[in-house]
Amino acid sequence: MKFLFISLSFLINFYAAGQNLDKTYTLSVTKHQVKINGVVISYTATAGYMAIKDENDSLKAKLFFVAYTKDGETDLSKRPLLFAYNGGPGSASLWLHMGALGPKRVVMNDDGTTKPPPYSYTDNEYSWLDKTDIVFIDPMLTGFTRSIGKTDKNEFIGYDNDVQFVGDFIRLYTSKNERWSSPKFIGGESYGTTRSAGLAGYLQNRYGLYLNGVILISAILDFGADATDKGNDRPFPLLLPTFSATAWYHKKLSSNYNNLDTLLKEVEHFAVTDYTLALLKGDQITDEEKNAIADKLHDYTGLSKQYIMESNLRLYVGRFNKELLRTEGKTVGRLDSRFTGDDYDNAGEEFDYDPSYDKTIYGVYAMAINDYLHKDLKYENEIPYEILTGRPHPWILSKNKYLNVAETLRDAMTKNPYLKVWVANGYFDMATPYFATRNVLNHMFLKKELKKNISLTYYPAGHMMYINKPSLIQLKKDFEVFINNAINK
């Protein structure tokens, strides 16, 4: 009897464990409608985990995703499919999900400033869902995505592991949902653009999954173009136009510079000519040359000539953010330099926090995704939805000093000459400066006929240009142009 009791207990516990496992991977499927461009779109939302297994059929991870598919589509070979994600590394996909692409968006003022809490979200009439089905992906240790059991998180983090993890999910989702014949796109923001370049190569080379398009929002492809380390002078000229745009916005420049586009063209020319040459000379630069460059930098940034000379003609993100409005006791944002903050004191070298993140977007987006998943999508999960954390670290980018995935993208475009790439840039973005992005693309050395496959658009906003409503509207229009060009043969 004792043996029978133990056996029954074992079976009961085993069955219960199976039930819990099934519940964990039960997808929440709900029906909705949204009006986009005056047309009502009926769609299905699917939220939950995809079980990620190894080739021995052992569970390794559970990846959280939210998919939106338009109802009534009978021929999926004509319905595009977009996989979207954010960056970090260590960021969930809520920013693109609830800010620009998805059927709901956070409610903010038109300029991107935040209304007082409690926050809210509303239907997104600028969603991309009328043009494409969308799958939002949360990489490892973001959102609800986690490793399973004793599986080491390090198997899924770092550049190479992350590309494989997300790429394997894309392949699995495409197969399970019979979407291999659909036009396929991937789209990422910030570090998500690094991931996208890697995925374009991985999906193509590993699975023969050729894409129609890659969307890069606030791109960083070559970290050597952004990392202002000692001995790496390349980023300083590439940052200058963003610093100049910021100074212009905060009215720190001469009234002669009353047009942003005209100003930036002048600054860009100076950056790649006289300024670059001066930095290349190192300590061989003459006093006369140094004074002339400092005068120009003063004109283009509004910083004092003394500060510029003391900085050895090299201006840094963080220090610039503190210095520009120091006399007013304000700092400017890194993700979006239109926004200002207040520090503990005015004497510091760098700002205490990024006002364009902590003061502007963090709270409203955190509320939106947590409320929306539970209330609208009927998805329940008691673990915290990780928004932007340092948990997936240490994040190994490359064995080399600077990771450069532009070559991976070039290779993918060369092997798939129909692949289209769209790069969206914000003028007030210090995290991924637009001029650095353009410079990296110009160093891919694509053949002339392939270079036509890359399109760039610019917005008078920051890293998340879509929090500025006019830019959100334009982003949607630019997306429509891009996807039409990418799928029309």
Of 284, 299, 315, which closes a domain?
315
12 found inside a domain:
no
455 found inside a domain:
yes
Q: What is the spatial distance between Cα 327 and Cα 236, in angstroms, rounded to a whole number?
A: 24
* Count of structural domains, the chain: 2
Whole-structure pTM value:
0.94
Q: What is the spatial distance between Cα 392 and Cα 124, in angstroms, rounded to a whole number?
A: 31
User: Which CATH number fits the domain that encloses residue 423?
Assistant: 3.40.50.1820
352 found inside a domain:
no
Are 128 and 82 within 8 A, CB to CB?
A: yes
Are 271 and 237 within 8 A, CB to CB?
A: yes
Using CA atoms, how far residue 141 sits from 32, 146, 355, 373, 456, in Å, is 29, 5, 25, 17, 32
Q: What SS3 class is residue 376? A: coil
**Shared domain check, 308 and 262:** yes
**Shared domain check, 240 and 106:** no
pLDDT for 21: 52
**Shared domain check, 216 and 253:** no
Amino acid of residue 97: H
Are 242 and 433 within 8 A, CB to CB?
A: yes
438 found inside a domain:
yes
**Shared domain check, 121 and 185:** yes
346 found inside a domain:
no
For CA atoms 175, 180, 183, 187, give the dihedral sign. positive
**Shared domain check, 90 and 166:** yes
**Shared domain check, 40 and 189:** yes
Of 315, 348, 374, which closes a domain?
315
| Residue 207, token pair as written in the block | 């699975």
**Shared domain check, 194 and 61:** yes
pLDDT for 4: 38
350 found inside a domain:
no
**Shared domain check, 309 and 203:** no
Pairing mode of beta strands 133-137, 59-70: antiparallel
Residue (of 50, 147, 190) closest to 391 by Cα position: 147
| Residue 228, token pair as written in the block | 């202002």
Residue (of 52, 21, 66, 57) closest to 166 by Cα position: 52
**Shared domain check, 133 and 209:** yes
Q: What is the spatial distance between Cα 140 and Cα 476, in angstroms, rounded to a whole number?
A: 29
Of 315, 333, 351, which closes a domain?
315
101 found inside a domain:
yes
**Shared domain check, 310 and 205:** no
Mean pLDDT for each 10-residue chunk of the chain (489 residues)? Answer: 41 42 85 97 98 92 98 96 98 98 98 96 98 98 95 94 98 98 98 98 98 98 95 97 98 96 98 98 97 98 98 98 98 98 95 96 98 98 94 89 97 98 98 98 96 98 98 98 91
Q: What is the spatial distance between Cα 180 and Cα 186, in angstroms, rounded to a whole number?
A: 14
Return phi, psi of residue 87, to 5°: -125, -110
Q: What is the spatial distance between Cα 470 and Cα 204, in angstroms, rounded to a whole number?
A: 36
Q: What SS3 class is residue 436? A: helix
353 found inside a domain:
no
Domain range spanning residue 292?
A: 230-315
**Shared domain check, 189 and 159:** yes
**Shared domain check, 157 and 52:** yes
